[in-house]
Structure 1
Amino acid sequence: MTERSLETAYRLRTPEDSRKLYAAWARDYDSSFAAAMDYQLPFSVAQTFAELGGKGPVLDVGAGTGLGAFALRQQGVHQIDGTDISTEMLSVADEKNLYERTFIADITAGMPVPDGAYRGVISSGTFTLGHLGPLALPEVLRVIAPGGLGVISVGLAHYRAASFDLAIADLPENIRVTEIEVPIYGPDHQGSNGTDAAILICAYVS
């Protein structure tokens, strides 16, 4: 299930493709993917956010089943909202009582969130092959208030193929970006994707 679903996820083309895949995957996502692959990316994102001084309220973009919120709470960060395109994935997250609130949104169509509504944004595994591309970065970053921080993971292969570096160079002058490369999976991973890496885009908003 893990490798087949991961390969399918990387081939997604439309928001409706994403809704269908994650509707079918939601109930066993934590066991068949996160546990089986030793999925460490949400923890790396949360740890980096906390170490760089990130504080709540935070919006978790591509919240899925709540792995990012769980990791943030381990770092002592609270006041977390979550958004995702999948109703079924958010239903699983809601059962864990990790978020203040959750809401459905297709990032490519815009979020029902005012500019500067949050002090922080995190995103783990949503900017990757078959998912969000660099054109979605401004929509995610616009909800961060001045003085806030965003930590957004981008799969390394996707970062290179989609020219995220060019999109970052075009961001407004009030957004300063640093980048960190991290592994996506831990040593207990299964399958052929275990050595994949991600870039953490750390965006400081002034």
Structure 2
Amino acid sequence: MSQDEPDLDAAYGLKTPDDSKRLYAAWAKTYDAGFAARMDYCLPERVVQAFVECRPRGPVLDIGAGTGLVGAHLAAADLGPVDGVDISQEMLDVAAERGVYRRLFIGDMAARLDVADGTYQSVVSSGTFTTGHVGPEALDEVLRVAATGAQIAISVSKAHFEAAGFAKTFAKLEGQITALELKTVRIYGDKAEGDHALDEGYMALFGRR
């Protein structure tokens, strides 16, 4: 990692949407070959594997699409069409080079996305609901853009799940969701090193009533 390249501690320390935009603008071009490769970042693949087992249908919204790691795995599973939203235009520019998205657009999950109610038959998100990023309040927006009967898969880091109160939020949403299942998953693979190498998250799998 170069001295100028952002790291996980910087990402987890984000406070505002503008902070996120600045960090990911600086990180976009080196994210895949640097961080993702160095940390053996396998969460996107594992989320998509669990998602596909739920037999989702398109169109799919990839929340926090970043450089398109989830989109690439969805394409490999022949699932689509896929749209991607992220707070960073620079990250989306990298994702666009993969050629796997129907549409990529800027959006902040703390606000309202430029998406009509019930647009998507499936919603997936990997690595976005985590410390310094998106909290449980964004689940309302996830459900707004999901169609009745939609399949949803969202990863949440364990530390963030507990600290931000995701369990209470899911309980409040009981009348809007079905078949909630939480699966523990490692965020990084066996090649990862450093303080975060053994970090875990939950995969929240559920349907939209």
TM-score, normalised via structure 2 length: 0.95
Structure 1 gap ranges (5+): none
In structure 2, the partner of 1:191 is 194
Rounded to whole Å, the distance in 1 between the matches of 2:143 and 2:205 is 11
In structure 1, the partner of 2:84 is 82
In structure 2, the partner of 1:163 is 165
Counterparts of 1:88-127 in structure 2, within 5 Å, are 88-127=90-129
Give the secondary-structure state (helix, strand or coil) at the position aligned to 1:113. coil
In structure 2, the partner of 1:56 is 58
How far did 1:52 drift?
A: 0.8
Among candidates 44, 47, 52, match of residue 46 of structure 2? 44
Counterparts of 1:25-44 in structure 2, within 5 Å, are 25-44=27-46
Contact 2:136–2:164, Cα closer than 8 Å, also in 1? yes
Rounded to whole Å, the distance in 2 between the matches of 1:98 and 1:16 is 27
| Structure 1 ranges of 4+ moved more than 2 A | 1-4
Rounded to whole Å, the distance in 1 between the matches of 2:137 and 2:6 is 27
How far did 1:98 drift?
A: 1.4
Rounded to whole Å, the distance in 2 between the matches of 1:50 and 1:182 is 16
In structure 1, the partner of 2:21 is 19
How far did 1:4 drift?
A: 5.5
How far did 1:35 drift?
A: 0.9
Contact 2:151–2:206, Cα closer than 8 Å, also in 1? yes
Structure 2 gap ranges (5+): none
Q: CA RMSD in A?
A: 1.3
How far did 1:36 drift?
A: 0.8
State percent identity of aligned pairs. Answer: 49
Rounded to whole Å, the distance in 2 between the matches of 1:88 and 1:204 is 31
Contact 2:6–2:23, Cα closer than 8 Å, also in 1? no
